[in-house]
Amino acid sequence: MAPDAPRPKPCPTLSVVVPTYRESANVAVLFGRVEAALEGVPWEMIVVDDDSPDGTSEIAFALASSDPRMRCLRRVNRSGLAGAVVEGWMSSSAEFVAVIDGDLQHDETILPKMYRALAAGEGNLAIGTRVADERAGGLSPARQMLSDLGAWFFRRVAGAAVTDPMSGYFMIRREIVSRLAPRLSADGFKILVDVILSAGGELKIIEIPYLFRKRIAGESKLTPLVGLDFLGLVTHHASGGLLPIRFVLFALVGAVGLVVHVIALSAFRHWAGPADFGSAQLVATLVAMASNFILNNEITYRTYRYQGLSMLAGFAGFALGCSVGALANIDVASWLYQWNRTWWVAGMAGAILSVVWNYAVSTNLIWRPRLRR
Ligand code: GDD
Ligand code: MN
């Protein structure tokens, strides 16, 4: 290097990853606030945008062209919060990585506290723990309840006392996530839960409380139903990684469908009289299929969900696929029953077969990765 060449800026020791989908009104504000908060720390921001139609990535790229502390990854034909975060982390060479929402709900002023604690070796994972502000009402009562319930479940399974495992705001030594990355789920929303359960006992966790803010611009992409995602994750880990998270959710929805079926059946019989059992069963089957389709569309395959009129086509495919599954179920169960006269063994085997079949059809044909419109 020539002696009078400008010295390169210090390399970042902290990468702050910001997953975004339609956050054009927030990205630049967040960058300014993080810049003010991290004064004195060599940091960079990595915006991972899933090709938002509102031009979020254009804004991030414009910032990046004038400030090397900003980087942006525009993912095309893909979506999903957890996967976006992991990909952002995988592009970092810093000692520490963080994740913060792009909508200004997380308080960026605790970033230096998290950083100092990790750099001093007080822990290797620092979680921003949400404390609801009663006056501002950052979390609605329903979300607060869901969050409390989740925290309780989590303590039981993980054996770690974490106040806010659903938090989407934390900082961790990059070396840890780098090792765990191949095992992390790209589909879910609860990346912290996944990280903690995948890491096993090696984490030394510190929690830093902050006031969760209300969202001002843009809208939330997560509904409270997403809480079920968490259940899938925990069961996935409890099975030693054997059951895919999606399958757990799919089976859960199927169990709900069974209840819906029985209720619809009894309602129809009540209304039309017990004589015509065949029609009653047909109607109940359709009702249960519709309920399963809607729940799977909202929860299990949310990333690829059908919206508007395309739901009709999706439902038609789903109903067709499930009918084939039901026929196969009856076939296999009857065949098994010839060999083994225990009715419930044959019945269960048939039912398991159709769940697996329906799952395969749903995952590969009905909600196969499609562009989100
Ligand atoms: N790249 C990408 N892809 N980003 C996404 C996607 C996606 O598919 N979906 C959402 N995001 C971004 C949003 O733009 C935002 O920056 C951040 O992820 C969080 O999304 P919100 O839609 O604001 O979520 P929330 O505020 O309802 O949920 C918060 O609380 C949850 C716990 O209840 C978040 O902090 C979650 O991370 C947290 O799990
Ligand atoms: Mn938010």
C-alpha count within 13 angstroms, C-beta hemisphere, residue 351: 11
- Measured from the alpha carbon of residue 145, the closest ligand is 1
> Given this model, what pLDDT does residue 373 score?
39
Low-confidence ranges of the chain (pLDDT < 50): 371-373
> Given this model, what pLDDT does residue 225 score?
67
Residue 220 Cα, ligand 2 centroid: separation in angstroms? 5
> Given this model, what pLDDT does residue 351 score?
82
Rounded Cα–Cα distance for residues 315 and 190 (Å): 28
Neighbours of ion ligand 2 (CB under 5 A): 101, 103, 105
Substitution site in 17, 18, 21, 73 for ligand 1 pocket (most atoms within 8 Å of beta carbon):
21
The CA-based dihedral angle spanning residues 217, 221, 225, 228, taken in that order and rounded to the nearest 10 degrees: -120
Substitution site in 101, 104, 127, 220 for ligand 1 pocket (most atoms within 8 Å of beta carbon):
101
Substitution site in 16, 17, 20 for ligand 1 pocket (most atoms within 8 Å of beta carbon):
20
Residue 173 Cα, ligand 2 centroid: separation in angstroms? 24
> Given this model, what pLDDT does residue 63 score?
98
Substitution site in 18, 50, 81 for ligand 1 pocket (most atoms within 8 Å of beta carbon):
81
Per-residue pLDDT tens digits for 219-231: 777 666 666 778 8
What is the model's pTM?
0.81
Please identify, by atom number, the ligand 1 atom nearest to the C-alpha of residue 48: 1
b/e code 5-38 from CB counts within 10 Å (16+ = b): eeeeeeebbbbbbbbbbbbbebbeebbebbeebb
**Ligand 1 environment, Cβ below 6 A:** 19-21, 23, 48-50, 79-81, 84, 101-103, 105, 166, 168, 189-190, 220-222
* Terminal alpha carbon distance of the chain: 49
- Measured from the alpha carbon of residue 22, the closest ligand is 1
How buried is 47 (Cβ within 10 angstroms: 0-12 exposed, 13-18 middle, 19+ buried)? Answer: buried
Structure tokens at 247: 């399958």
Residue 84 Cα, ligand 2 centroid: separation in angstroms? 15
Of the candidates 250, 320, 327, the one whose C-alpha atom is nearest the C-alpha of residue 292 is 250
Residue 209 phi/psi, 5-degree rounding, is: -75, 150
Per-residue pLDDT tens digits for 288-310: 999 999 999 988 888 788 989 99
Rounded Cα–Cα distance for residues 207 and 197 (Å): 17
> Given this model, what pLDDT does residue 371 score?
46
Helix spans in the chain (H): 27-37, 56-64, 81-90, 111-119, 141-158, 174-180, 191-199, 227-238, 245-272, 277-295, 310-339, 343-361
Number of neighbours of residue 75 by Cβ within 10 angstroms? 17
The CA-based dihedral angle spanning residues 291, 293, 296, 298, taken in that order and rounded to the nearest 10 degrees: -80
> Given this model, what pLDDT does residue 288 score?
93
- Measured from the alpha carbon of residue 99, the closest ligand is 1
How buried is 212 (Cβ within 10 angstroms: 0-12 exposed, 13-18 middle, 19+ buried)? Answer: buried
For ligand 1, atom 21, the nearest C-alpha belongs to 220
Residue 156 Cα, ligand 2 centroid: separation in angstroms? 27
Number of neighbours of residue 271 by Cβ within 10 angstroms? 9
**Measuring CA to CA, how many Å separate 315 from each of 286, 299, 318?**
11, 15, 5
Q: Would you say 49 and 73 are in contact if contact means Cβ atoms under 8 Å apart?
A: yes
CA angle 35/36/40 to nearest 5° reads 80
For ligand 1, atom 32, the nearest C-alpha belongs to 166
Residue 100 Cα, ligand 2 centroid: separation in angstroms? 10
Please identify, by atom number, the ligand 1 atom nearest to the C-alpha of residue 143: 33
Rounded Cα–Cα distance for residues 267 and 169 (Å): 46
